[in-house]
Amino acid sequence: MLQIGCPKAKLLKEKIDQLDFESIHFEVVRLSGLTLQVTHNAASDEAAKAAMKKYIKTISELANLYINIQLIDAQGRIL
């Protein structure tokens, strides 16, 4: 699972919830403040993180913002 921190979390949620990108399906399971928790069906969290980074770069509204993507387990602990 991915945890994504973004100053425009609601906008990012709209863009990535139920997203299919590079044969990976992303689903936002929780929005808490400026943090999203996102599940995926990629082979690994690292592959999902790489694909998400590529997709976020295509969103012009988020071009100059700092976005933090971390790998977490099902209990929300950072790996």
pLDDT along the chain (79 residues), means of 10: 96 96 96 96 96 96 94 88
Q: Is residue 77 part of a domain?
A: no
Q: Does the residue 76 lie in any domain?
A: no
What is the pLDDT at residue 7?
A: 96
Q: Which of 40, 49, 36 is nearest to 20 (CA)?
A: 40
pTM equals: 0.92
Which structural domain, as residue segments, surrounds residue 52? 2-71
Name the DSSP letter for residue 34: T
Residue 52 Cα to chain centre, angstroms: 6
Tally of structural domains, the chain? 1
Count of helix runs (H) and strand runs (E) in the chain: 2, 5
